[in-house]
């Protein structure tokens, strides 16, 4: 069995979750085809593969497509504006920011995800160069992983910028809390963190039912309990709209509805 095989089917949890990396790549590829695209990702279509496009067409909506485009742009801007040279992308999947954002030669970009996902990406992009020092670290993020990051040169005594995009919902609540504990313990004051979260009601979203495990209606509390000063937006809010939403985001006063949160935070 080659290291690419686990990404080729989407039958059970252990195969479906890594496969979502290809579904995200397919949605980025669709965005790239739009004349008014929010970003360019020249590698997305190649990484996605035909079966990921089929899954997206069968399972996901236009609203999901818009969300992934907005989320990608939101976190592209977040990483670029952070202007921090130590960058950690947790559950990076087939994210190609290491290749497509303009990093300086002093930047270290660390990516962590399941080994087979990163091996697939490395294989497909082996001819491409990055403008940063690029570290692909295969890891199960529900198991101890900090040592791998430290061994690769990461320093917890200088500020870092973290991105946790499209991961938290696949963890149990205990795993999600523990991940934030580890990230916080590795983050010097002034570090920044970007992540997306879903509401508790969103656990019922049909397309991902049985796969989504963790949602929260209080992202501010979740992050502040781990020592982060938080700014939370919903897609459609100012700074997370990019001309893609004509309706305002649902009021936070409305309880028990499906919604997503785009969060950025600074370590206090």
List contacts with ligand SAM (CB under 6 A).
17-18, 20-21, 24, 91-95, 113-114, 117, 140-142, 165-167, 170
- Record the tokens describing residue 158, joined without a space: 């200088």
Residues 73 and 63: their CA atoms lie apart, in Å, by: 15
Strands 108-113 and 133-138, bridge-based pairing: parallel
Nearer to ligand SAM, 82 or 94 (CB): 94
* Neighbour-count burial of 15, counting CB atoms closer than 10 A to its CB (0-12 exposed, 13-18 middle, 19+ buried): middle
> Least distance from C-beta 115 to ligand SAM, angstroms?
9
The CA-atom distances, in angstroms, between 231 and each of 15, 101, 214, 215 are 33, 23, 20, 17
> Least distance from C-beta 266 to ligand SAM, angstroms?
21
| Residue number, nearest CB to ligand SAM | 93
> Least distance from C-beta 167 to ligand SAM, angstroms?
5
> Least distance from C-beta 251 to ligand SAM, angstroms?
27
- Record the tokens describing residue 231, joined without a space: 């700014």
Nearer to ligand SAM, 31 or 217 (CB): 31
Nearer to ligand SAM, 143 or 157 (CB): 143
Q: What angle do CA 121, 65, 13 make, to 5 degrees?
A: 55
First to last CA, the chain: 47
Nearer to ligand SAM, 17 or 70 (CB): 17
> Least distance from C-beta 43 to ligand SAM, angstroms?
12
Nearer to ligand SAM, 103 or 120 (CB): 120
């Amino acid at each position: 069995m080659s290291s690419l095989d686990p990404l080729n089917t989407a039958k059970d949890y252990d195969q479906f979750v890594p496969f979502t990396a290809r579904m995200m790549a397919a949605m980025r590829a669709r965005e790239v085809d739009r004349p008014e695209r929010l970003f360019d990702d020249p590698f997305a279509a190649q990484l996605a593969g035909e079966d990921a496009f089929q899954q997206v067409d069968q399972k996901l909506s236009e609203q999901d497509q818009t969300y992934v485009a907005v989320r990608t742009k939101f976190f592209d801007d977040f990483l670029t504006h952070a202007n921090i040279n130590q960058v950690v992308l947790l559950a990076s999947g087939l994210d190609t920011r290491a290749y497509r954002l303009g990093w300086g030669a002093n930047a270290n970009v660390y990516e962590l995800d399941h080994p087979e996902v990163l091996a697939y990406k490395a294989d497909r992009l082996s001819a491409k160069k990055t403008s940063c020092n690029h570290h692909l670290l295969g890891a199960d993020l529900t198991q101890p992983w900090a040592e791998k990051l430290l061994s690769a040169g990461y320093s917890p005594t200088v500020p870092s910028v973290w991105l946790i995009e499209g991961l938290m919902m696949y963890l149990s609540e205990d795993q999600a809390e523990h991940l934030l504990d580890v990230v916080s313990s590795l983050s010097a004051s002034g570090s920044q963190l970007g992540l997306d979260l879903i509401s508790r009601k969103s656990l019922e979203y049909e397309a991902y039912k049985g796969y989504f495990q963790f949602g929260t209606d209080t992202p501010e509390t979740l992050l502040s309990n781990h020592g982060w000063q938080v700014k939370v937006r919903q897609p459609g809010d100012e700074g997370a709209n990019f001309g893609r939403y004509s309706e305002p985001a649902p009021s936070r006063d409305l309880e028990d509805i499906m919604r997503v949160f785009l969060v950025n935070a600074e370590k206090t």
